[in-house]
Amino acid sequence: MPKNKLERFAELQTFPNCIYMSYQKAFDDRFELKGKWNAGHFRNANPIILELGCGKGEYTVGLARRYPHRNIIGVDIKGNRIWVGAKAALDEKLDNAAFLRARIDFIDSAFASNEVSEIWITFPDPQPTRKGEKKRLTSPRFLERYKKILGPGGIIHLKTDSVLLYEYTLEIIRENKLGLIDSTNDLYGSHTSTAREEVKSIRTYYEAGYLAKGMKINYLAFAL
């Protein structure tokens, strides 16, 4: 019988690969793992990669499988979804995968300067209304937060079914003179994209659904 939300929340608290950052610790900037993820959790010095708005953690788990010598952290506020990825990582004994239950607004309270090497944003809410623009995960408001935690040469990846979010992000990159590394509005049909293999080989639950409907997937990689 499938577990309900309350059962998942209770079990999630016992998972050693899942960490919760309270609002109070975020506001007070006293989260205990900030600047200490490698030493305090992973017990190694490997590069850290984030999946923001990770949902069920398909990319977090997929990247952890592909890169055993990198530490992958999925970030999302919804524990019911995180449970799926966290449970899969535990079952597969993926010690390089972890999950942080926190609001992405507070990402710079969870990680220190230069602590992160790469960020993946996979199928986020495009926030299509004008009012929701500041909530887009590629808006200047969020990019300023990422800038505080990304190390030199750090890359941001965006995969989305939303043409609006894709074009919006391209405009933000142009306006702020950021380093565009790759872009395509048809990831699986483009012959010009230089996207790395993990961009295509790891698919989220939503992505699989979009592709089944014949929808195109947009992809961007850029540096701050």
For residue 91 the two structure tokens come to: 């079952």
- Tokens 């929808």 locate to 215
Active site residue 125: yes
For residue 185 the two structure tokens come to: 């509005």
DSSP 197: H
Task: Report strand pairing: 150-160 vs 218-223.
Answer: antiparallel
Which amino acid, 170?
A: L
Q: Determine whether 171 is exposed, middle or buried from the number of CB atoms within 10 Å of its CB (0-12, 13-18, 19+).
A: exposed
Identified catalytic residue from 28, 76, 108, 125: 125
Return d(Cα 33, Cα 142) in angstroms, integer: 21
Edge-to-edge strand list for the sheet holding 71-76: 18-20, 97-101, 71-76, 48-52, 116-122, 150-160, 218-223, 179-184
Q: Determine whether 4 is exposed, middle or buried from the number of CB atoms within 10 Å of its CB (0-12, 13-18, 19+).
A: exposed
Cite the active site residues.
Answer: 125
